[in-house]
Structure 1
């Protein structure tokens, strides 16, 4: 039975949903991908990949060394482990609940290799666009371990064990009337990322910057919206407003909802994309390819 939904004053309308697509990347890693390179509503975000499997053969080959230019990536793990290595000599790993952030800037060559853990692997990689003025900045990278990520109650309880919660991974958020910063605050285009887990039937209203784009990926359970109940595996794009209204399906319908919530400042610049490179023109893409083939991408 379809659940009734009423949008609160100031809440953003749901514009549309995009279903994830089965794909493969790296050395054959099986993923579910939501591409947004050609969608202004997606900006400053470009793409979200979800890795979810209990079979090591689906992901263990990982992502051997490969280049990037013009983007940032944010990897977030719900279960499992990933190790990063790059040409700058950086090396580090994060496991369940942790995140890795990388700014490719003018060029980086890195690998991302998974480890095996009980329960398999479940995680995400988000591509964030960089403004034209910053695409040739110096590359950098950092780990964010699970213990560094604030975990806050969303339903008025004194502890996260009482119900709905939010984990602040990147950016600035307003929770319970207070401004709260995530560990990562220098992502491109004011990009903010949070993991929200709603108890069955719970509803929250999150204030978000009116100038920002807002996207929500349903990774568990289902979300009740004005366009019906949306199951996991879908990205939702929202319109203008001052807040984001989120409501999980009722207890009689199943579990609550696990959500990856994104907001950021739209760049409103041309996007040229080819493989691991995202620039503003075809000429810049061709230059990136020449630089990589000539061994000067990272110079």
Structure 2
């Protein structure tokens, strides 16, 4: 028998400017939920961008970035000549390691490019490794379809759901999944002890069961950040609208000092 995950805070990230003319909702990485609280994650942006806006040449060092597209396309290119395009359902997992400079530009002036970018910190021993990419078109991301029986679909990017494992190798233990629930369908997810955990509703709305109070409601464009626990715990979540989608992000804190200045994330300020 597992206790239900206790919600620590529910909040709606405001839209803010980023890059050149782009709009993002920053879910992790502001004073509302900072990177120390959500260790090992440094940032999570829900972006919506179309030309001429974009993210021109910018450096990264000491962490991994994961870009997951929902709609539209993003072209990316780095200073070593690695380039490509990711579209709906595709993933690009980039380990910046000792450093990379890259650009991410939307493909269209008319159709917005919408998706999530997650920054995952690397432990000290991994920070100065050479940069690396893991790229997965949507066909390679396992989709579990329990729609008929249980009213649940999930794209397992990293971690495990319904005994299906995601393809991504995370250097920092983490889960990253995209869930869709039918109206009144309920999904239960076990969170390992001492992991940080967050869900973000990007379509519809949900109810999350709590042990000693009534369920808490999660509206569109709203995140629920959970209390950390020394025991494995259960999140029970129910879809309330016709279509309901949420992103699940969970990981084991590194508990290392974070010296972050913009795109560089190291252990000390040197």
TM superposition score normalised by structure 2: 0.88
Listed as ranges, the matches of 1:1-299 within 5 Å are 9-36=2-29, 38-52=34-48, 56=50, 60-116=52-108, 120-154=112-146, 157=149, 163-170=151-158, 172-175=159-162, 178=163, 180-185=164-169, 187-225=170-208, 226=210, 228-239=216-227, 240=229, 241-249=232-240, 254-283=241-270
Q: CA, structure 1 residues 21+281, in 2 after alignment: closer, same or farther (shift >3 Å)? A: farther
SS of equivalent residue, structure 1 residue 12: coil
Structure 1 residues not aligned, in runs of 5+: 1-7, 284-299
Structure 2 residues not aligned, in runs of 5+: none
**Is this contact kept in 2: 1:75–1:126, CA < 8 A?**
yes
Cα distance in 1, alignment partners of residues 256 and 2 from structure 2: 31
Q: CA, structure 1 residues 11+22, in 2 after alignment: closer, same or farther (shift >3 Å)? A: same
Cα distance in 1, alignment partners of residues 145 and 168 from structure 2: 20
Q: Which has the higher helix share?
A: 1
**Is this contact kept in 2: 1:72–1:128, CA < 8 A?**
yes
C-alpha deviations, 1:124-150, integer Å up to 9, x for none? 111111112211111111321011111
SS of equivalent residue, structure 2 residue 172: helix
C-alpha deviations, 1:101-120, integer Å up to 9, x for none? 11011100111111128753
SS of equivalent residue, structure 1 residue 188: coil
Cα distance in 2, alignment partners of residues 274 and 122 from structure 1: 26
Cα distance in 2, alignment partners of residues 45 and 255 from structure 1: 31
**Is this contact kept in 2: 1:222–1:257, CA < 8 A?**
yes
Deviation at 1:155, TM superposition (A): 5.5
Cα distance in 1, alignment partners of residues 181 and 174 from structure 2: 22
Deviation at 1:42, TM superposition (A): 0.7
**Is this contact kept in 2: 1:128–1:188, CA < 8 A?**
no
Q: CA, structure 1 residues 268+154, in 2 after alignment: closer, same or farther (shift >3 Å)? A: farther
Deviation at 1:39, TM superposition (A): 4.6
Cα distance in 2, alignment partners of residues 188 and 164 from structure 1: 28
Select between 268-277 and 208-217 the one with higher mean Cα deviation. 208-217
Q: CA, structure 1 residues 278+114, in 2 after alignment: closer, same or farther (shift >3 Å)? A: same
TM superposition score normalised by structure 1: 0.80
Larger-Rg structure? 1
Q: How many residues align?
A: 259
**Is this contact kept in 1: 2:35–2:43, CA < 8 A?**
no
Cα distance in 2, alignment partners of residues 277 and 255 from structure 1: 42
